[in-house]
Amino acid sequence: MAHSGVHKDRGELRIHENLDELGTDLAEYIAELSEASVKERGVFTIAISGGSLIGLMGRLCEAPYNKTVDWAKWYIFWADERVVAKTHADSNYKLAKDGLLSKVPVLPSHVNSINDSVSAEEAADDYEFHVRQLVKTRTINVSDISDCPKFDLILLGMGPDGHVASLFPNHPVLDEKDEWVTFITDSPKSPPERITFTLPVINSASNVAVVVTGESKAEAVHLATDDVGADCLSLPARLVRPVRGKLVWFLDKLAASKLDGSQFSE
Ligand code: 6PG
């Protein structure tokens, strides 16, 4: 790793020389969390997003992780999903299935995808209901400070505008306090209809990792993590602040190129 540092309440920043190094570190981080969760609770509940994240998780399908990870204990969820058919090229489920889930022995019954045959609103309600059932049985842990689900790990990407999951800048869903899963029909990034975990759920997780690469995101990384003016406080990525959990940023050098830098050690 080129640099790493802890930036007060903005979490740990891990900056990598290149995508290869990032992918190796990310796979090791996920495998370690999986092992710890399985040891402690017998399961590993992981929520993923779409975008470049899935490709960057690819090392998990290779040795040693394809054999050493206890895949049968994984329960997979989506922090956000596009409301399209699961066979559609835009589906985050399809992306994960093709790039990851079809290559490792995850149990199909542990893959918790959305109902793709209903409206965005119904899909969000349905997904929240499903998550509630799994919280009731404690497959998903529960937060000790709210009634929110406490996923073992939520993996997020970030857009150049600072969005995470399907929480976009200045969107009213950023203020959602009651729902666990909500929907939007006006996503500025295509496709427009999506469901998404809300901030209270993201911030109740045991671990949240934000994986960001490329120069186009350098300014948003700076605004999300450095000490900046009050105007940036509502940037969605900056609102990711696990209350009791741990936040880690996986960055490549380009995404980290506009950071202040004072917080790092070689
Ligand atoms: C989605 C994603 C979204 C994504 C970011 C980053 O469905 O669009 O879940 O939140 O993670 O837009 O995507 P990239 O890494 O591809 O830029």
User: 44, 50, 86: which is closest to 65 by C-alpha?
Assistant: 44
Residues in the chain: 266
pLDDT of residue 9: 72
Report the alpha-carbon distance of residue 252 to residue 14 in Å, rounded.
8
Positions in the chain short of pLDDT 50: 266
CA torsion 257-258-259-260 (nearest 10°) is: 120
Report which ligand 1 atom has the smallest distance to the Cα of 213. Answer: 15
* Ligand 1 proximity of 236 Cβ (cutoff 6 Å): no
* Ligand 1 proximity of 165 Cβ (cutoff 6 Å): yes
pLDDT of residue 214: 98
| Residues 48/77, Cβ–Cβ less than 8 Å | yes
* Ligand 1 proximity of 159 Cβ (cutoff 6 Å): yes
* Ligand 1 proximity of 82 Cβ (cutoff 6 Å): yes
User: 11, 87, 74, 78: which is closest to 45 by C-alpha?
Assistant: 74
**Rg (alpha carbons) of the chain, rounded to whole number:** 17
In terms of C-beta density within 10 A (0-12 exposed, 13-18 middle, 19 or more buried), how is residue 132 classed? middle
Residue 184 phi, psi dihedral angles, 5° rounding? -135, 155
Residue minimizing CA distance to atom 11 of ligand 1? 157
What is the 40 CA–ligand 1 centroid distance (Å)? 31
pLDDT of residue 96: 98
Residue 30 has which token pair? Answer: 């996920």
Residue minimizing CA distance to atom 1 of ligand 1? 50
Residue 14 has which token pair? Answer: 């891990």
| Best mutation site among 86, 189, 198, 221 for ligand 1 pocket (most ligand atoms within 8 Å of CB) | 189
Report which ligand 1 atom has the smallest distance to the Cα of 80. Answer: 9
| Best mutation site among 19, 54, 80 for ligand 1 pocket (most ligand atoms within 8 Å of CB) | 80
User: 80, 71, 82, 74: which is closest to 46 by C-alpha?
Assistant: 74
Residue 235 phi, psi dihedral angles, 5° rounding? -60, 125
* Ligand 1 proximity of 49 Cβ (cutoff 6 Å): yes
What is the 166 CA–ligand 1 centroid distance (Å)? 8
Report the alpha-carbon distance of residue 158 to residue 53 in Å, rounded.
9
- ∠ CA 108-111-115 to the nearest 5 degrees? 110
Report which ligand 1 atom has the smallest distance to the Cα of 212. Answer: 15
pLDDT of residue 78: 98
